[in-house]
Structure 1
Amino acid sequence: MSTNVEQLKEKKAAYDAKVEKALAKFPERKNLEPNRLYTPLDVTEFDYEKDLGFPGEFPFTRGVQPTMYRGRFWTMRQYAGFATAEESNKRYKFLLDAGQTGLSVAFDLPTQIGYDSDDAISEGEVGKVGVAIDSLADMETLFDGIPLDKVSTSMTINAPASVLLAMYIAVAEKQGVTPDKLNGTIQNDILKEYAARGTYIFPPKPSMRLITNIFEYCSKNVPNWNTISISGYHIREAGSTAAQEIAFTIADGIAYVEAAIKAGLNVDDFAGRLSFFWNAHNNVLEEVAKFRASRRIWAKVMKERFKAQKPKSWMLRFHTQTAGSMLTAQQPENNIVRVALQTVAAVLGGTQSLHTNSKDEALALPTEDSVRIALRTQQIVAYESGIADTIDPLAGSYYIEALTNKLEEEALAYIQKIDDMGGAPVAIEKGYIQKEIQDSAYKYQMEVETKKRIVVGVNQFQIEEKPVEGLLRVDPSVGVGQKAKLGELRAKRDNAVVEAKLAALAAACKDEHTNLMPIILDAVRAYATLGEICNVMRSVFGEYEAHVSL
């Protein structure tokens, strides 16, 4: 840095003296966290090659591709799914016609926790927060008329990810599409379910086995598939800070890599298909710095800790979703502005794909009109804003570089503490990660309630509002229809074959050296249901019961 540091310190001191006089007339707003001003003094250790480098090169601070969006834009992937497979299929075709470039499947709660729609525990939840998928027949309907070799599909599914992936592969086979032609992602991140979200089924050990089985199977058979989306999104939704989102997510990623290596996999055989999933909050510049810091940390972890040799293994590729927890039921039109800011943060931060939330999602599932606005937000940012025309345009900003360094340091301190405990699974079992998130969530809520933090339309600038009309509601008859379809399926399939496939799965579950993916795929092809397959695994693996010892 060519700046004369001593001269700059003197000039900064003179500036600070002027500020003190100005404050007497123009007091600053309270509770501002960043410094008033950032100068070269805040990045005195800045080393371009070590800290930034070039896009597409280690440590990937500036992005994972050499040309980023100058070649093609991020994948515009709207998260969608509700009611039945038939209705969700119509929504997917609507979105593709509107210019969406990738699919993202939302599953209902029973599907997420491995129950069929006719199970007593599913009553009242079928099709409510996503689409109900009970069998291969539902998956066939979900993707009817959508060529799976032409789209990239993301599936937000965790505990039963192996089953839903098997269904997707089987649907592709029926379309004549071989597994090596499939592109997409399964979330498949069970650790964050234990820590922040709650849609787990099995205890940690068999859950980690299923995950590493998927890594191994896909590395040989579905090479273009992202086998996990290590998710900070839900950690942030639960109340974490930006630094905690980075730290706890990367700590989970470290645990998955360690588990895969322990299972006998070579790090470079699977690391290139690991992906991440980040939240985009309202503080635009903090989010940009968060994305940049996360790439730099992961690159160093993979190269230095795990000795990965391939540059692709060092890359932190990620999907972003705008922050659902930042949406407000009050004055929902304001959410359009919030989502636009979050979109800008994700693009400036170098995301590989993006979902933008709809204005009405604090109240209900989005309508077609609101989801179109959400997609148009991405398209306007892409085609009209200019921020995608150059790579990492905020690089070199004293504030951005200082904030990137700060978030990296804070995240690394958390990761070190988790390492000292024995890793993320141990930290989760002890309740450490959960408590850190809960404490941050409580602090945020107190700031809102005391107006230390202003949320427009919620604790300031309120108005009298009429009830919102035209919200999307899922008809309760969806559950009745799904039960009927299951009855018909069980009546027409070859139940003797199904029983044999399920028995083979039970036997394979008891042999920890057997990769379960081929056996699950065989059961799926025979039209065994999601609940039947998961119940077999429950009978062998047991179920996880959360407990926190602080």
Structure 2
Amino acid sequence: MFDNEKLEKISDAKKEWENSTLSKAISRFPERKEKFTTGSGLEVKRLYTPEDIKDLDYNEDLGYPGQYPFTRGVQPTMYRGRLWTMRQYAGFATAEESNKRYKYLLEQGQTGLSVAFDLPTQIGYDSDHPLSEGEVGKVGVAVDSLKDMEILFDGIPLDKVSTSMTINAPAAVLLAMYIAVAEKQGVSKDKLRGTIQNDILKEYIARGTYIFPPQPSMRLITNIFEYCSKHVPNWNTISISGYHIREAGSTAVQEVAFTLANGIAYVEAAIKAGLDVDSFAPRLSFFFNAHNDLLEEVAKFRAARKLWARIMKERFKAKNKKSMIMKFHTQTAGSTLTAQQPDNNIIRVTIQTLAAVLGGTQSLHTNSRDEALALPTEDSVRIALRTQQIVAHESGVTATIDPLAGSYYVESLTKKIEEEAYEYIKKIDELGGSPRAIEKGFIQKEIQDSAYRYQMEVETGERIVVGVNKYQIEEEGHKDILKVDPSVGELQKEKLRKLKAERDNEKVKSTLEALRKVARTDENIMPYILDAVKAYATLGEICGVLREEFGEYQPSIIL
């Protein structure tokens, strides 16, 4: 971007500045005695100049929005044309209660839905299962059957909103329920827009809501790819998630590297299953974390976008431009929220919102101030949504595309994250790919080491967390927090009893038997899950059949 003669002049001028202006200033006012690093520990130099981006080729490395390598954004006009989808993650207690929250959020200006399911639902158990006791409706909504899903979306036209569902191991079942609800509303499959997370590899790495071993899990995922490419073409069939990897303690570089390595594994599995890359890759999506270090996060998003485009074009020979585009949802970092002085979390979330927007996200959830204490109250949810709306309409950052492009620091950091993430990906390739690297414990160990280093920095005071290890105050107990009624579990059990008494149990039995038979073959399993769902077979019954046929995953201990 600069010729050698100009770079030499810049270098000479910098040395002169260091020897005169800078040295005098430091002798009078020494710099702070702390390590200057990014939130992930990457060294930050005192000053960045054109020398730091001397090898940058504008057309090859940045290009233009909507064009390969998509560093500057996936749409030609970005937010000048359309703002990101404001999609607040919500769900608690019963379907009735969550339906009220969704309608409230839509009234407040939310533009998409994002469903949180409770832990029993996430691991494929009905609310009346012994292991569900005490967990029903606690961290999300309880969905045991199509009946619950019908209530959840009652009065919400599914051809008018897009819906994201954070569900992984039983993703095929919840997607089938969503399709069935849409059909009851008179909405055809091809009109549905939304995303299922459906990312099992990161469950093995960082989150733990898995059911089946890797091989049948990957089969379910590729079956969804195939089914949706034919029948639900506007649905994002997976949201390859770096969010939980970062929440587990990874660095920004590791978040990019491990997420993209998982993405590579899904693409390879789909191709191995006989799918053409351009038939499913355009509907792949990603999910990232927005952390506190504003400029590192912006660089991370830009690097991830460029790296994925390169992988799809060079490694998988994708021909369709849409196959190379990294569309991603962002959520602000739950792990950065503090129970101490929770109003401080509003500021943290604002910084993280700016990082996501300046980094070019397509969809965004902003966490609420009280989420370190409990599920958010309506007031807290509204403030979180207003944070997005103020950034969108009052900050000015949406007026131009990729406004931090050209910053010597941001471009240098983007390149560094890209290079270091690519080195990780090469290492994972050498180990045999992401599934093998997970089996060997490599990815988990890298994250654990990073999480330990971060926590030790907080413990020693080397890293300041306002209100936690510095600037503490005496606080009274927190009063206005949301509490889930403990009777929710009993309400769900009663619903299940009524459902099983009223449904056609012979039809349920026959659809479950058909599901069992197809699980033993290579045939696509999605139509059979859809048949069982429509017969009002429960989530637990469907997952129970698959547990018996596929087995359950037993994690290895990583030391």
Normalized against structure 2, the TM-score is what?
0.98
**Which amino acid in structure 2 is aligned with residue 17 of structure 1?**
N
Among 305, 310, 318, the alignment partner of 2:315 is: 305
**Residue 263 in structure 1 maps to residue 273 in structure 2:** yes
Does residue 246 of structure 2 align to residue 243 of structure 1? no
Q: Quote how far apart the aligned CAs of 1:436 are.
A: 0.3
Q: Percent identity?
A: 74
Write the letter of the residue equivalent to 1:88. S
Instruction: Say whether residues 1:349 and 2:359 are aligned partners.
Output: yes
What is the CA–CA distance in structure 1 between the aligned matches of 2:11 and 2:360, rounded to whole Å?
Answer: 34
What do the CA deviations read for 1:193-230 (whole angstroms, capped 9, x no partner)? 00000000000000000000000000000000000000
Q: How large is the RMSD of aligned CA atoms in angstroms?
A: 0.7
Post-superposition shift, 1:431? 0.4
Which secondary structure state, in structure 1, belongs to the residue aligned with residue 287 of structure 2? strand
1:31 maps to 35
* Structure 1 residue 419 displacement after superposition: 0.4
| Contact kept in structure 1, 2:120 and 2:132, CA below 8 Å | yes
The amino acid of 2:229's aligned partner reads S
Corresponding residue number in structure 2 for 1:425: 435
Q: Does 1:525 align with 2:539?
A: no
Contact 1:184 1:226 in 2 (8 A): yes
- Structure 2 residue 372 is the aligned partner of structure 1 residue 369: no
* Alpha-carbon separation, structure 1, partners of 2:31 and 2:259: 36
Conservation of the 8 A alpha-carbon contact between 2:339 and 2:370: yes
Q: Structure 2: how far apart are the matches of 1:547 and 1:117?
A: 28
Q: Which amino acid aligns with 1:67?
A: T
- What is the one-letter code of the residue matched to 2:18? D
Matches within 5 A, 1:324-403: 324-403=334-413
2:144–2:540 CA contact under 8 A, matched in 1:
yes
One of 521, 537, 555 as aligned partner of 1:546: 555
Identify the range of structure 1 (41-50 vs 12-21) with the bigger mean alpha-carbon deviation: 12-21
Q: Give the superposition deviation at 1:471.
A: 0.3
What is the identity, as a one-letter code, of the residue corresponding to 2:26? L
User: Among residues 410, 413, 421, which one is paired with 2:423 in the alignment?
Assistant: 413
1:128-160, Cα deviation, whole Å (9 max, x unpaired): 000000000000000000000000000000000
Alignment equivalent of 1:188, drawn from 198, 219, 233: 198
- Does residue 536 of the first structure (1) align with residue 538 of the second (2)? no
After superposition, what is the alpha-carbon deviation per residue over 1:464-505, rounded to whole angstroms, capped at 9, x for unaligned?
000111100001100000000000000000111101100110
Specify the SS of the correspondent of 1:4: helix
Question: Which 5+ residue runs of structure 2 have no aligned equivalent?
Answer: 38-43
Match of 1:120 in 2: 130
Between the aligned partners of 2:31 and 2:196, the Cα distance in structure 1 is: 47
- Number of residue pairs matched? 549
In the TM superposition, residue 267 of structure 1 has moved relative to its aligned partner by 0.1
Which of 9, 12, 16 in structure 1 is aligned with 2:11?
9
**1:17 Cα deviation (Å)?**
2.0
- Counterpart-to-counterpart distance in 1, 2:210 and 2:186: 33
Q: Secondary structure at the match of 1:543?
A: coil
Q: Measure the CA separation in 1 of the matches of 2:143 and 2:306.
A: 38
Matched, 1:454 2:464: yes
Shift of 1:380: 0.2
How far off is 1:548 after superposition?
Answer: 3.6
Structure 2 equivalent of residue 231 of structure 1: 241
Structure 1 alignment gaps of length 5 or more = none
Which residue is 2:41 aligned to?
none
For 1:31, the aligned partner's letter is K
Deviations 1:164-198 (A, max 9, x none): 00000000000000000000000000000000000
SS at match of 1:60: coil
- 1:277-308 Cα shifts (integer Å, max 9, x gaps): 00000000000000000000000000000000
> Which stretch of the first structure deviates more once superposed, 122-131 or 17-26?
17-26
Change (3 A) 1:549 1:320: closer
Q: Distance in 1 between matches of 2:169 and 2:420?
A: 30
Residue in 2 that maps onto 1:404: 414
Is the 8 Å Cα contact of residues 444 and 558 (structure 2) preserved in structure 1? no
* Superposed displacement of residue 77, structure 1: 0.1
Confirm or deny that 1:508 pairs with 2:518.
yes
Question: Could you say which residue in structure 2 is the equivalent of 1:493?
Answer: 503
Give the C-alpha shift of residue 549 in structure 1: 5.5
- Whole-Å Cα distance in 2 between the matches of residues 476 and 7 of structure 1? 71
Q: Distance in 1 between matches of 2:201 and 2:28?
A: 52
1:168 aligned onto 2:172: no
- C-alpha separation in 1, matches of 2:132 and 2:28: 63
Structure 1 position 441, deviation (Å):
0.3
TM normalised by structure 1 equals 0.99
Match of 1:279 in 2: 289
SS of equivalent to 1:230: strand
- Secondary structure in structure 2 of the residue aligned to 1:445: helix
Structure 1 segment 104-119 matched on structure 2, within 5 A: 104-119=114-129
- Which amino acid is the alignment partner of residue 118 of structure 1? D
Residues in 2 aligned to 1:317 and 1:43: alpha-carbon distance in whole angstroms: 26
Determine the structure 2 residue equivalent to 1:51.
61
Deviation at 1:23, TM superposition (A): 1.9
Match of 1:252 among 242, 262, 271: 262
**One-letter amino acid of the counterpart of residue 538, structure 1:** R
Worse-matched range after superposition: 17-26 or 335-344: 17-26
How far apart in 2 are the matches of 1:232 and 1:27?
39
How big is the shift at 1:5?
1.7
What is the identity, as a one-letter code, of the residue corresponding to 2:486? P
Q: Distance in 2 between matches of 1:409 and 1:181?
A: 40
CA contact (8 A) 2:95 2:148 kept: yes
Who is 2:451 aligned against?
Answer: 441
| Runs of 4+ with deviation above 4 angstroms | none
| 1:199 equivalent among 168, 190, 209 | 209
Match of 1:20 in 2: 23
1:85–1:133: 8 Å Cα contact kept in structure 2?
Answer: yes
1:89/1:144 contact within 8 Å kept: yes
1:156 match:
166
**Alpha-carbon distance in structure 2 between the residues aligned to 1:372 and 1:7:** 53
SS of 2:88 mapped into structure 1 = strand
